[in-house]
Structure formats: C-alpha cells, structure tokens
Structure 1
C-alpha cells in the first residue's frame, strides 16, 4: 500500500503519503494473526520442504551434469533458503535497480 501511495505522490495524484506517517509505521502484526499458526506467512511447511529439496537436486545435477553453472544454482539455493527460513519477503531481500532504497542484502 505504501509503495502505491508513494507512486501516487510521485505522479502528483495525492499531496502526501498517509502510509509514511509515524503512526502507521508501528510494529508488524503478531504471528498469531489468523494465518496457519506456525509463523509461515505464505509457504506451507510441505511446500517449503519440497521446494528446498528441488533446489538441492538442481544444485547437485548442475554440478554433475553440467546443465547450468553450479555457482548460479548455489546462489538460487541460498536465496530460497533465506526466504524459506527467515520469514523475509522478497522486497526485503532483493535489489531493485530503479529504487535506491532497495539495495538488497549486503
């Protein structure tokens, strides 16, 4: 929502972004907010485990069969693990070249 409202300010559709006010930028909701209750926001444990096994397989076959650069497969596997276990959202982790504030992980 805040990104949309920032875009609206940038295109002079509204004067200020109400989502950037200090009162709006409080703590995140508690984990027990009606989701699946285990702290996973979007990936079920079953999906997470299957996806991680697939990235493991992809990395191993990349090295063994030369299908892709093993460094790329390792990078992808690490990124999936960060997203799977940290609870971070992709916008918090990935770089966006058009947005100076989104410089990714360092």
Structure 2
C-alpha cells in the first residue's frame, strides 16, 4: 500500500461513515418523481388515475412514519405525465385482501 493511500484511507472512511446515515433515508417526493418518469416510458402505460398500495406495519413507528411521508408526498394526486398517482394505505396484515391498488 502506498503512503498516499494510507493517509487517505482514514479520511475516506470518515466521509463514508458520516454519509451513511443520509443514505438510509429516502425522499418520498424524489421516489415518486422517479416512478412517475418511469411510467411515462412504458408502452401502453397507465393513464388517468392509478392507486398505489402503500403497505405499512402499524406496530413499527418507522413504517408508519414512512407511510405518512409517502401519503403526504402523494397528496390529493401526484401528476406524472398522463397518469395521476394516488395512494391507499394498507396494513401489512391486510395485503392479501387488498383490492383496487397497483
């Protein structure tokens, strides 16, 4: 290992350690923007209103917080090209009986 690499290794490790917590938290608005853009590239893609199932575990506060963030980002409808995405919160235990969602 070169001396230069040995000097940079601790600094690089610290940068990664500081950045790691930021990587774990996704931005629901950005995720929806990416999903919406991807839908516009589909041949015969959806048009009109599409209901997304937002699955969460009510026993886990982190899951509920993520569900709330996604539902807030969707609001009354997230326009993405020819489709408007809306959300429906679904508890993880009820996924098997969920209907009317994508």
- Rg larger in structure: 2
Q: Which one has a larger percent strand, Structure 1 or Structure 2?
A: 2
Give the structure-1-normalised TM-score.
0.24
Give the structure-2-normalised TM-score.
0.25
